[in-house]
Amino acid sequence: MKIKNNVSLRDKHTFHCECYAETFIEIDEEDDLILLDRNFSEIYQKAFFIGEGSDILITKNSLPLVIHCNINFIKIVEEDLNKVIVCAGGGTKWDDLVDYCVNNNWWGVENLSGIPSSCAVAPIQNIGAYGVEFADVAYRIYGYNFKTHKFEIFTPNDLSFSYRKSKLQQMPEIFVTKIEILLNKNPQPNLSYKDLKNKFQDKNPSLQEIRNTVLEIRDNKIPQPDKIGNAGSFFKNPICSKNELEILTKKFPDICFFKYSDDKFKISAAWLIEKAGWKGYREGDAGVSTSHSLILVNYGNATGQDILNLANKIIDSVKNIFDVKLEPEVKIL
């Protein structure tokens, strides 16, 4: 465990807005959490837990206490002829885990390539892309509970995964230390996403081909955070009922939507924002990406509050035009 004071967080989250941690603690191994728990009472009420910082927007000038998971490993837990269970430390970069699985010819996470997340955040946000969610491969999630002062294990049923949600979002006392995912050894390509379907059509792509294509799609749509600060998709795609969709399609016949379940549909937030005229909009150094309207960006020196102000203007605009309420996908601190 390493403890530092007055640490800049500019390079520790992907929006790269300036902010300082009064105390910054690196967790290198699980036993560090026991020691931390002894030294700080009710730490979960005071601290912010961060991984790669790809799911947050920091709007404050400083945070009192930030704890970063640096538990980094990947290992096989169990395997047979058809399945394999892989474990990764909470501080492991998600895409490093995906790359490891693809290189070993294990199916399940290839569509989630390129997501700039840590493995600890994957179950909290139920990260997802191109027709796949973390919930599809989740097996067990391990964490330290600062309320019970014990290590705990969670199954997918415990966490009630849904669209960009899990119960962990309402459990600030849990510090995720590692995850286990269940993968297939037999080919099971998921080509439900339109761009993947168009790319491969009747072809049976390899794992590496799917990964490369997903990375290419992401590169074309999402700015690299080390070049332009962003957190990927800033807003969730709104979910509506069949009746609500019928009302919208009567008013806006070209509205973009996708089936989510038997009676629910996702409205494309990107379509709503672009039709409302926000794509490419810039206000100082806060803006909307020119390549994808769902991505808010920091062109250099925007504050978190600048980006939040822009986000709120977009929310109000979309609500006024379409009577649809956008919700942020990122966590706002």
pLDDT at position 279, please? Answer: 94
pTM for this entry: 0.84
Length of the chain: 333
- 248 by Cβ neighbours in 10 Å (0-12 / 13-18 / 19+) ranks as buried
pLDDT of residue 145: 94
The residue among 221, 254, 286 that closes a domain is 221
Same domain, 301 and 328: yes
Q: Are residues 39 and 106 in the same domain?
A: no
Q: Cβ neighbours of residue 320 under 8 Å, at least 6 residues apart?
A: none
Q: Are 74 and 156 in contact (CB under 8 A)?
A: no
Tell me what pLDDT residue 137 has: 97
- Last residue of one domain, picked from the residues 221, 252, 276: 221
Which of these three, 69, 99, 117, is where a domain ends?
A: 69
Report the distance separating Cα 8 and Cα 152, nearest Å.
Answer: 32
Which residues of the chain fall below pLDDT 50?
Answer: none
According to the model, what pLDDT value does residue 218 have?
Answer: 86
The answer to whether the beta carbons of residues 294 and 273 sit under 8 Å apart is yes
pLDDT at 276: 95
Nearest-angstrom CA–CA distance, 54 and 76: 26
Number of structural domains (the chain) is 3
Q: Are residues 83 and 156 both part of a single domain? A: yes
Residue 53 pLDDT:
80
Range of the domain at 19: 2-69
Residues 173 and 263 in one domain: no
Q: What is the pLDDT of residues 136-153, one digit of tens each?
A: 999 999 999 999 999 999
Q: Say how far apart CA 169 and CA 150 lie, in whole Å.
A: 19
What positions carry a catalytic annotation? 164, 233, 329
C-alpha span between 97 and 87 (Å, rounded) = 9
∠ CA 48-19-294, rounded to 5°: 80
Phi first, then psi: what are they for 307, rounded to 5°?
-70, -40
- Residues 111 and 198 occupy one common structural domain: yes
